[in-house]
Amino acid sequence: MSTALSIEITGEGPPLVLLHGWAMHGGVFAPLVARLRAHHTLHIVDLPGHGNSRDSAVPLTPEDCVAAISEQVPVAPWCGWSLGGLMALHAAATRAASVPALVMLCASPRFVRGEETSGDSWRYGMSPEIFRDFATGLREDYRGTLDRFVALEAFGSTDAKGELRALRAELFTRGEPAAHILADGLELLETADLRAELPRLSQPNLWIAGRRDRLVDPRAMREATVLAPRARFVQIEHGGHAPFLTQADEVAALIEEFLRATAGNSMESSVA
């Protein structure tokens, strides 16, 4: 098995790395890619066990994934959606010289809520039982469980039917994700806590939330920006968990505006 990952490269202009969410692959970004490729060279990653990286031997952990991706992409901003946000955040916090800007797209440093009995104040995460139920479902009804998950991703959007249709259409276009990797991904979503990395962010970081997102509460993302220097929070009013599917123009415009401002600030700093 290879330690390389499948990374599609398309477009022209300054580079941008895109990282997808659990059970999906880089192809899910098609509406966003169509709007960004005229101005950016996009490096669209298939995470280990997903899409065309299905047979990759890279473990699905932030450090292992970031190390593998960093070997294959140039210095560039990283944009991570959902699970991909954990990878992008870890890259920005640990490899600032290689990741000059960060975009968190419906992603959180911690996906589950804190236990009140332990004094953890992280209030807006999901119940850990949800991820455990999906893990059990993978063993009993693989395809049905994936379908339930993408339905949860689409739920809440003002165009839930369109979002669900798009997610279902992409799910298996690059083959079925490896079952053991999906289980690893659910465990990562349940247990990962990267809040301690937020104060270490030295580069500009943009957090794009969907107001109707039922997987990543916008309030959790807003709280994350309080802990992160140079952070900006933006909320897509009619967006669910995958606003780049149904509000692609708005998401692309936010990313473009942020990256232009970031590039301008970088040039000013280098001149100074």
Active site residues: 82, 213, 241
Tell me the C-alpha distance between 137 and 159, whole Å.
Answer: 27
| CA 184 to centroid of chain Cα atoms | 16
Helix 83-94 and helix 62-70: axis angle, to 10°?
A: 70
Give the number of other Cβ atoms within 10 Å of residue 127's Cβ. Answer: 11
Tell me the C-alpha distance between 167 and 228, whole Å.
Answer: 31
Tell me the C-alpha distance between 185 and 57, whole Å.
Answer: 14
Tell me the C-alpha distance between 244 and 108, whole Å.
Answer: 17
What DSSP letter does each residue of 22-38 carry, written as one string?
TT--GGGGHHHHHHHTT
Tell me the C-alpha distance between 141 and 235, whole Å.
Answer: 35
AA identity, residue 159: D
Nearest to 177 by CA among 209, 218, 152, 149: 149
